[in-house]
Amino acid sequence: MNTAKQQLIQSWIDKASHDLGAVRILAASAEPVLDVAIYHCQQAAEKAVKAFLVFCDEDVIETHDIPLLIEIATEHVPPA
């Protein structure tokens, strides 16, 4: 795997991790902001799937449609 690809994958993973960090803070505050925490959960999931798609040499499409991204990702996972 080339360095540029590794960096792009790591960038998506880092962004997902930052979203999860925001979730922890928002959900654990004295007055939890759960709607925003849930938004960041969605963002983290989307970015994690996009990291996997880059790993699989898929072009990352500009969408927030997680079911579509997962459908594309499952093409790269052997059947159970």
pLDDT at 63: 95
**Signed CA dihedral, 8, 10, 14, 20: sign only:** positive
80 falls in which pLDDT band (50, 70, 90)?
Answer: confident
pLDDT at 79: 84
Question: Which alpha helices (H) appear in 29-74, and where do they start and end?
Answer: 34-55, 66-74
Q: Considering the entire predicted model, what is its pTM?
A: 0.90
How do the domains of the chain map onto residue ranges?
3-74
Per-residue pLDDT of 12-57, as tens digits, reads 999 999 999 999 999 999 999 999 999 999 999 999 999 999 999 9
pLDDT at 39: 98
